[in-house]
Structure 1
Amino acid sequence: MYDLHMHTILSDGELLPMELVRRAAVLGYDTIAITDHADASNLAHLVETVAAIRDSARYYGVDLLAGVELTYVPPPLIPALARDAKRLGADIVVVHGETVVEPVAPGTNHAACTCEYVDVLGHPGLITVEDARAAAAHGIALEITSRAGHNRTNGHVVRVAREAGCPLTVDSDTHAPSDLLSKEARQAVALGAGLTEAESREILFRDRKQLLQK
């Protein structure tokens, strides 16, 4: 199993990075990404800090990806900041999408979907088909999320992704221990979003590294 969107005490989460790794390992995850909230003020610190425990995570059988979630960044600045994150060594760049429950700046989805350095658009809200097509062209996945509030538009995201031929990822957006998903819970999120059994199996268990190899 994988989860590409998780938070720790490095931003607004409750767990130390290694505690998050251990709890995920016990649940059966073999790949997780720590993607704490980032802007220009903390980008380098987040990437460096998480990268420092990659080797420790392997003791628990977890491939740890050092990442960031660009959050509330003005849309014109997203491409340069995403590029900087990759140059600093980030394995994955998530952008905090235009969820319907937060005042994310309009144009954030478009900026993320047209950026070659972005890997996942988190909780993209009422994303347009045009932006989803741009995401597909750039190899960017749209997120199906279990996080309360953000998950209100999961069904819309699935429908748009199908029409646009855009890849999907199922993530928890974990902030606390109770947010971590079991295998059964992940399947329920996927099916509840409107994915078929076959689509759910393919999305939930395929090799996430293929998504990140642009």
Structure 2
Amino acid sequence: MIYDLHTHSTHSDGMLIPAEVARTAQVQGYLGIALTDHVDSSNIYQVLQANLKFKEWFNKSSDDFKVIVGVEITHVNPKDIAPLTKIARDNGADIVVVHGETISEPVASGTNRAAIEAYVDILAHPGLISYEDACCAAENNVYLEITTRKSHSYTNAHVANMAGKAGANLVIDNDAHSPSDFVGSEKAFKIMLGAGISDNEIKNIINNNKIIFEKAVGGKNG
């Protein structure tokens, strides 16, 4: 059983409204999700407001499956990551994710380091992250993401290797945009094995997701 800390709804580029995202994940065996729609300076307030209102309504009537709300700061100038992170936190975000330097999209060089130095919670699909940046992530307690999502997953083995050398913590997420993106616990386990991650470390990663999720639920009254 697993928590997913990186999902998208129609409030950015996902295919499903928030209620559909939550229900799809629950049916697939997840225990809870974070809605982390893409944001930049143009939409951060609107996206947070909409998803936080959904969270308030949903969690009141759901006992065994909860939603938390964050943002995925995406394709912005690296200099804008820190101020946008502050805006997100000041406006109720439970977690802050940054769209890392995946090899499949033209993300600005320096995004990984800027996110880490902004003390975000999760650096998503950080691509060919450097050892130096992985060390900085370890020092700043920024979690690096192992992803199940298509081309973003090409560098999972590299991310896991750098995290292991640097002592950085990992999480496992779907980066779900559609129903088929929720892979479930069994396939997520196999994807991590395929990245060269040991059984014991896989257990730690799954527990990291749980720790982040439960801290957010407890800290913001679910």
Asked if the contact 2:5–2:213 (Cα under 8 Å) also holds between the matched residues in 1, the reply is no
Work out the CA distance in 2 between the residues paired with 1:126 and 1:161. Answer: 11
Asked if the contact 1:17–1:50 (Cα under 8 Å) also holds between the matched residues in 2, the reply is yes
Q: Are 2:119 and 1:139 aligned?
A: no
1:92 is matched with: 95
1:62 is matched with: 65
Query: Secondary structure in 1 aligned to 2:191?
Result: helix
TM-score, reference length from structure 1: 0.94
Q: Deviations over 1:78-107 (max 9, x none)?
A: 101111100011001110000001100000
2:17 is matched with: 16
Identity %, equivalent residues? 44
Question: Structure 1: 5+ residue runs without aligned partners?
Answer: none
Q: Are 2:75 and 1:75 aligned?
A: no
Correspondence 1:189-200 to 2 at 5 A: 189-200=191-202
Q: Are 2:166 and 1:170 aligned?
A: no
The answer to which structure has the higher helix fraction is: 2
TM-score, reference length from structure 2: 0.91
Per the TM alignment, residue 210 of structure 1 is displaced from its structure 2 partner at its CA by 7.3
The AA in structure 1 aligned to 2:34 is A
Asked if the contact 2:144–2:168 (Cα under 8 Å) also holds between the matched residues in 1, the reply is yes
Per the TM alignment, residue 212 of structure 1 is displaced from its structure 2 partner at its CA by 6.0
Q: Are 2:158 and 1:156 aligned?
A: yes
Query: Secondary structure in 1 aligned to 2:192?
Result: helix
Asked if the contact 1:2–1:208 (Cα under 8 Å) also holds between the matched residues in 2, the reply is no
Number of equivalent positions: 213
Work out the CA distance in 1 between the residues paired with 2:71 and 2:128. Answer: 23
Residues 208/181 of structure 1: CA separation in 2 closer, same or farther (3 Å cut): farther
The AA in structure 1 aligned to 2:89 is K
Question: Structure 2: 5+ residue runs without aligned partners?
Answer: 217-222
Per the TM alignment, residue 211 of structure 1 is displaced from its structure 2 partner at its CA by 8.9
2:220 is matched with: none
Per the TM alignment, residue 208 of structure 1 is displaced from its structure 2 partner at its CA by 2.7
The AA in structure 1 aligned to 2:71 is V
Query: Secondary structure in 2 aligned to 1:52?
Result: helix
Q: Are 2:212 and 1:209 aligned?
A: yes
